[in-house]
Amino acid sequence: MNNGIAGFQVWSDGSCLGNPGAGGYAAIAFDPDGKELAVVTGREKRSTNQRMEMVAAAEGLAQLPLGVEVTVCTDSKYVVDGMTSWIFGWKRRGWKKADGEPVKNLELWQRLDREVSNRKVKWMHVRGHVGIELNERCDKLANEQARLAKAGE
């Protein structure tokens, strides 16, 4: 399933029941021929939607070999904006925001930064909940994980 996208792909989504609340994430990785390489899911008893979105992207990238070209497709503007714009200033300022305050979710931004450092990554924002098949699949998996986290499983 290449969706008109060249190279490797990662589709990712995060979910929280409450914010903060029980969280779940999902990512699906594909090779350049559209073959599904991995489906990764997970959950946290207490998280935020933004954190789950970040974990999903990082876990998806971690499934791919170093040195590849990859497009990460996510409905999280927070992740896309963070990785295509904000991160450069944060790093210049020693991981501080423009107001001098520490970056929120620092360890996850640094993890994403490590995951992209040896890959050529393009970030693509997709609209959520509009019937895009892989986005809907990730959303369903992430929500299932959030429900399991809430149930204490």
pLDDT in tens, 53-74: 999 999 999 999 999 999 999 9
101 pLDDT exceeds 90?
yes
pLDDT at 2 over 60: no
Residue 99 Cα distances to 96, 107, 113, angstroms: 8, 19, 21
| Per-residue model confidence (pLDDT) at position 143 | 97
- What does pTM read for this prediction? 0.95
pLDDT per residue as tens digits for the range 38-52: 999 999 999 999 999
Q: Cβ distance 31 to 38 under 8 Å?
A: no
For the segment 109-133, the average pLDDT, to the nearest whole number, is 94
**Domains assigned to the chain:** 8-81+112-150 (3.30.420.10)
In this prediction, residues 97-124 reach a mean pLDDT of 96
Inter-residue contact 16 to 52 (CB < 8 Å): yes
Number of Cβ within 10 Å of residue 137's Cβ equals 15
Quick one: pLDDT at residue 152? 87
The residues annotated with a catalytic role in the active site are 13-14, 53, 75, 129, 139
At residue 130, φ and ψ (nearest 5 deg) are: -125, 20
